[in-house]
Structure 1
């Protein structure tokens, strides 16, 4: 790991601690942190320092209601998300919240804004997430 990546990893980890997020796993060699924050619904969120960016991903659900309308709804909601966006894994079946931030200029408030954006998204969009992840009977 380069010195720059080591400094970025340490900076991100210190911000997480300052924001009271629990670091449940860390791999300094791969520059990866996994965090939990029960109060905001964050569970096993992955943060990866991939110079020059910080990649943040939170798995939300498996999409069982796969349809044009489901994908349209997700894309339309992306427009309302302040920081980050919905993304799909390679299979197109796993819904993820993802944000990327520039490591060089990253500050505590910017990182916190990503978490707040996810919290707002979940509070406004929970029922739709439940609907698309619940198999039809």
Structure 2
């Protein structure tokens, strides 16, 4: 993370959890959770619309093309 010039804003070593940011590259409150053997990245992309039906349908469609990941 340091090589990527990400600023660590919070760290919980016991939970293997780090929150980083890089505002110049649109990264704000990116949660990195190390759950061996995987790394979980959580980033708020946008708020859910008031009428979410089509929104959730599109997210499910996009999930089909992701090899290792999902929009949730």
Same fold (TM over 0.5): yes
Which bin holds the TM-score, normalised by the shorter protein? 0.7 to 0.9
TM-score, normalising length: structure 2: 0.78
Q: Please report how far the alpha carbon of residue 52 of structure 1 lies from its aligned counterpart in structure 2 after TM superposition.
A: 2.0
Aligned residue pairs: how many? 72
Deviation at 1:82, TM superposition (A): 6.9
Q: Which has the higher contact order (CA 8 A, sep 6+)?
A: 1
The answer to which structure has the higher helix fraction is 1
Q: CA RMSD in A?
A: 2.0
Match of 2:45 among 15, 38, 60: 60
TM-score by length of structure 1 reads 0.45
Structure 1 runs of 4+ aligned residues shifted over 4 Å read 79-83
- Structure 1 gap segments, 5+ residues each: 1-15, 88-137
